[in-house]
Amino acid sequence: MKEVVLSKRTSRIFRLPGWPDVCRSGLLLIAARSMVLGALPFGVACFAACTSMETAYLGAIAMALGVYTAGGNVGKYLIACVLFWLYSELKLREDNKLMTMAVCGGCVFIGGLYSALAGGTALYSMAVLLAESLLAAMMYHVFRCTDALFQGRAHREASQEQIVSAVVVLGVLLMGVSGVALPFGIDLAVLLGILMVLAVSMNAGVAVSGCFGMAAGFICSMNRPEAVLLAGIFGLSAVLANLLKLFGRLGGSLGFLLGVTVSLLYLGDVNRLPITLTELFAACILYAMLPQFIHQKISGAIGAVFCVKTPKSDVRVKEYLSGELKSFAKAFGDLAEHFLAVPEKQREMYAGNVDRLIDEVAARACTECRMAEECWKTKFEETCRQAYMIFETMERDGYCDMHNLPIVFKQRCIAPEGFVAAFNHVYELYKQNALWKGEASMGRGLVAQQYHEISNIMRELSHEVEGGFCFQAEREKKISGALLRAGVFVKEVSVLENARGGYEVYVSPAAERETVQELVSEIMGIRMKVMQEGETLKLIADNLYAVETGVRQRTKEGQAVSGDTLKCFETEDKYYVVLCDGMGSGSEALQESSMTAELLARFLKAGLEKETAVNMINSTLALKAEREAFTTVDLLEVDLRTGDAEFLKVGCAESYIKHNGAVETVEAKTLPIGILEEAKPAVAGRTLSGGDCIVLVSDGVSETGYGVMRGEWIKKILRLEDRDMEELAELILNEAVRKAYPKLSDDMTVVTLRLVKRREE
């Protein structure tokens, strides 16, 4: 025999109602007033779908009040509610949607069976009762879909079924308030209908606005002969309100008024309008004057229900973007190879330059000489060898005169002074040409380096796009549902996992920052912080570490400005220190160092790799034609999630680390950027923990020591007891100034950092 599976139920049958139960009962009262062909099936359907059976007594009272105020048979529908409650309490198997729908319809049929049979027209009454029962069964499903949507148990994106269900429920509620009169003859159903149409028109598309307008107009006047006319007026007005929503709430209200005005022109008589001007202007003015926070709530709620989104095609997008970036990267890579190939060809051409130089000297000095034919025809090879000897002399000494002229040539040539003068002149032209070609070659190499780095950037981006991020659909659903249950209505929630394994959460529109932050942190399992506000909230994982910084600077004697430039900044999960020392001092050094530091900071904030950014700036400095531009780069990157620190040094002074009480030096022997075609930075990594200190200094500080022991005094200061970072920077700078006495021969900069653990993991 098959085992019967009992459903898990609490022993408690009834409980005191909470605030959500009271709200549901209020909506149930309105739904119970909705009448179709004299039948009131919506109250029982709403009771069965949305009321907790532990507060069924409150739902039954609300349903009875609704039916009573609508003039219906209260006993009939109370019987149906009691029967459904008994089924809900006594059922042995797990919930089955089709079975429950059938039971809901059956309860309505049984409740009205006596009245139908007792009437004079039993056949007609039975047919109406059967139709009412079927409608109640279908409406049970509609109410369940809508309830699940607003409870956040459904998908984040509303399906077509859920949208239709929500619209039908709104229509039922409008029918429920139909006939309720307010002061000045205002029909509550018409007033609410106009407000709903305006709200949807301001927050949805044209098609949704028009359809909703027609449905709302028809439902508001379903029991009146002008229902079709009002549906057309509302539909046209909703479309015009949507078209003018760019001008804000006032524009939307004017658009709705414009739609009614156009309808009035066709009707020709204001008395033929199915709505009064009082209802129209009252609704438009009320909508325009609603506070901003209420509009945000309405916008979020409509977005949560009506914004249908197709599944994310991030895979296709990533493949497309990755392919495009790879194509661009290959194009720039080929261009770089082309530029590098040109200097190689030029170097092959330089071998023939000496022959052309000797030909030019012979043309200038020997054309009119009576011995020209003998020297350059009869004894051509011997003359060429001697000319090459003169060229070697000029290459060695830089010039040629009668004193270093080869003896053999002086003995053979009848006019050596003129030949030497012509050779010197042509040689100078040759050197200038060779120098220009060399600079042009270097320039092409630098441009090729720029193209190569751009190619690397695009290639890195393509890899990051291809496999570096993905959307977390399940977490998006959980966050959206939690926000909905907390009363925070949003249009969109996106959870993205980036290439570094970090999470980014986007919530739109931005609302109730603290509530969103708390709920997102709870669902993500880590503390999140708001990184960006505005129309959209962006939340990222809060960092494990923070950085305390101290800075002190001193200018070289006789200079108004320092040639050192310092940039300290924080990105989402990294902390950077960029210290650049321009060659020399004063304004020219400041110009180079500030440009380098500013560009480097921008590149790092944009997400470029450190080596790529340094090489881009290096080739830029080397290409400057007006003068030589050199600068050192001392770059520190601290990962605030893990505590990993990475030093990148190009021609700069050493740095110092205090880790667990021990002090070590980080140094590198490299040239400043702007000298070579390709910078060769030295990179060193360390793993730090809370309380560790780092000191970065410019060479004006590091070179104030004594010989090979010049950095020991800084290490000695670091070994002392822990100090405030500002105090430590002040102490190091003062000691450097004391050691440099009596004159500061260079600019001085000191940067001190301490890693502070912000929270427990």
pLDDT for 753: 93
Structure tokens, 349: 């051409």
Binning pLDDT at 50, 70 and 90, where does residue 439 land? very low
CA distance 494 to 472: 8
Rounded average pLDDT over 159-165: 67
More confident residue, 492 or 325: 492
**Per the omega criterion (within 30 degrees of 0), is the bond before 183 cis?**
no
**pLDDT band with cut points at 50, 70 and 90 for residue 635:** very high
**Alpha-carbon span 125 to 114, nearest angstrom:** 10
What distance in Å separates the CA atoms of residue 111 and residue 125, rounded to the nearest whole number? 13
Tell me if 632 sits within 8 A of 691, measured CB to CB.
Answer: no
pLDDT at position 374 over 70: yes
pLDDT higher than 90, residue 696: yes
Quickly count: other Cβ atoms within 10 Å of residue 45's Cβ.
29
Which 3 state secondary structure label does DSSP give 136?
helix
| Cβ atoms 73, 119 nearer than 8 A | no
CB 501 within 8 A of CB 507: no
Percent share of the chain, pLDDT over 90: 8
Q: Is the dihedral of CA 44, 49, 53, 55 positive or negative?
A: negative
Run of H or E residues at 218: helix 206-220
Q: How far is CA 586 from CA 199, 245, 382, 618, 675, in A?
A: 63, 57, 58, 21, 20
Answer yes or no: is pLDDT of 4 > 80: no
- The answer to whether residue 6 scores a pLDDT higher than 50 is no
Mean pLDDT across the stretch 248-263? 84
Q: Where does the pLDDT of residue 623 fall: very low under 50, low under 70, confident under 90, or very high at 90 and above?
A: low
Distances (CA, A) of 375 to 369, 370, 391, 392, 416: 10, 10, 17, 20, 13
**For residue 477, which amino acid is it?**
K
The three-class DSSP label of residue 369 is: coil
Per-residue pLDDT of 512-528, as tens digits, reads: 777 888 888 888 888 88
How far apart are alpha carbons 143 and 202 in whole angstroms?
Answer: 26
pLDDT, mean of residues 655-662: 89
Q: What is the pLDDT of residues 69-118, one digit of tens each?
A: 888 888 888 888 888 888 887 764 456 778 888 888 888 888 887 666 66
Task: Write the CB contacts of 642 (distance below 8 Å, at least 6 apart in sequence).
Answer: 544, 687
- Residue in this structure with the two tokens 């003129």, named with its chain if needed: 418
**pLDDT computed for residue 154 by the predictor:** 40
CA distance 697 to 632: 12
What confidence tier does 305 reach under pLDDT thresholds 50, 70, 90? Answer: low
Work out the end-to-end distance of the chain between its first and last CA atoms, rounded to an integer number of angstroms: 54
How much is the pLDDT for 759? 59
Output the six-digit token pair for 172.
């039922």
What beta strand segments (E) does 484-544 contain? 492-497, 503-508, 528-532, 537-541
pLDDT at 96: 73
User: Of 441, 442, 397, nearest to 420 (Cα)?
Assistant: 397
Q: Round to whole Å and give the CA distance between 734 and 717.
A: 12
Side-chain half-sphere of 284: how many Cα atoms within 13 Å? 21
Determine how β-strand 503-508 pairs with β-strand 537-541: antiparallel
> What average pLDDT does this structure show over 412-426?
84
Instruction: Report d(CA 582, CA 650) in Å as an integer.
Output: 12
Residue type, 590: L
Instruction: Find the range with the poorest average confidence among 121-130, 340-349, 353-362.
Output: 340-349
Residue-level pLDDT at 515: 81
Burial 58-92 (b: 16+ CB within 10 A, else e): bbbebbbbbbeebebebebbbbbbebbbebbeebe
3-state helix, strand, coil in the chain (%, to 5): 60, 15, 25
- Please give the residue that has the higher pLDDT: either 82 or 334: 82
Please state, in angstroms and rounded to a whole number, the distance separating the CA atoms of residues 432 and 385: 24
Q: Quick check: 590 and 562 in contact, CB under 8 A?
A: yes
Q: Compute the mean pLDDT over every residue in the chain, rounded to the nearest whole number.
A: 77
Of residues 690, 530, 696, 672, the one with CA closest to residue 614 = 672
Inter-helix orientation angle 74-90/56-69, to 10°: 160
> According to the model, what pLDDT value does residue 634 have?
92
Burial letters for 447-459: b for 16+ Cβ neighbours within 10 Å, e otherwise?
bbbbbbbbbbbbb
In this prediction, residue 719 carries a pLDDT of 86
Cα(221)–Cα(112) distance, integer angstroms? 27
Q: State the CB neighbour count (10 A cutoff) for residue 494.
A: 19
pLDDT given at position 45: 82
Which whole number is the average pLDDT over 19-42? 80
Q: Which residues on adjacent β-strands are paired with residue 505? A: 495, 539
Using the predicted structure, report yes or no on whether residue 278 has a pLDDT greater than 80: yes
Q: How far apart are CA 392 and CA 272, in angstroms?
A: 111
Q: Tell the residue number behind the tokens 């010197």, with chain if given.
A: 424
Q: Looking at the predicted structure, is the pLDDT value of residue 238 above 50? A: yes
Q: What is the pLDDT of residue 672?
A: 80
Q: Which residue has the higher pLDDT, 564 or 498?
A: 564
Would you say residue 127 has pLDDT above 90? no
Please indicate whether residue 578 or residue 117 has the higher confidence score (pLDDT).
578
pLDDT computed for residue 387 by the predictor: 83
Q: Is the pLDDT of residue 752 over 80?
A: yes
Give the CA-trace dihedral at 68, 72, 76, 80, to 10 degrees: -70
Q: Is the peptide bond before 509 cis (omega within 30 degrees of 0)?
A: yes
Per the model's pLDDT, the better-predicted residue between 216 and 734 turns out to be 734
Residues 6 or more apart in contact with residue 424 via CB below 8 angstroms: 394, 399, 400
Q: How many CB atoms lie within 10 A of CB 652?
A: 27
Question: Which residue, chain included where needed, has tokens 């409608």?
Answer: 135
| pLDDT interval class at 411 (50, 70, 90) | confident
Specify the pTM: 0.52
What confidence score (pLDDT) does residue 93 get? 45
Decide if pLDDT at 444 tops 60: no
User: How large is the average pLDDT for residues 51-70?
Assistant: 82
CA distances to 359, 554, 561, 634, 650 from 582, in Å: 47, 15, 12, 12, 12
User: Which of 1 and 358 is assigned the larger pLDDT?
Assistant: 358
Q: Of residues 490 and 347, which shows the higher confidence score?
A: 490
Q: Supply φ then ψ for residue 639, to 5 degrees.
A: -80, 115
Q: What is the DSSP letter of 310?
A: P
Q: Give the pLDDT mean for 130-159.
A: 72
CB 306, CB 204: distance < 8 Å: yes
Is residue 686 helix, strand or coil?
strand
533-551, pLDDT tens digit by residue?
667 788 888 888 899 999 9
What was the pLDDT predicted at 352?
54
Among 68-77, 116-125, 669-678, 724-733, the range scoring the smallest mean pLDDT is 116-125
Higher pLDDT, 108 or 297: 108
Count how many residues are written for the chain.
Answer: 761
CB neighbour class for 737 (10 Å; exposed up to 12, middle 13-18, buried from 19): middle
Give the C-alpha separation, 585 to 579, whole Å. Answer: 15
Which tokens go with 219? 């439902």
Nearest-angstrom CA–CA distance, 287 and 195:
6
Residue 650: pLDDT over 80: yes
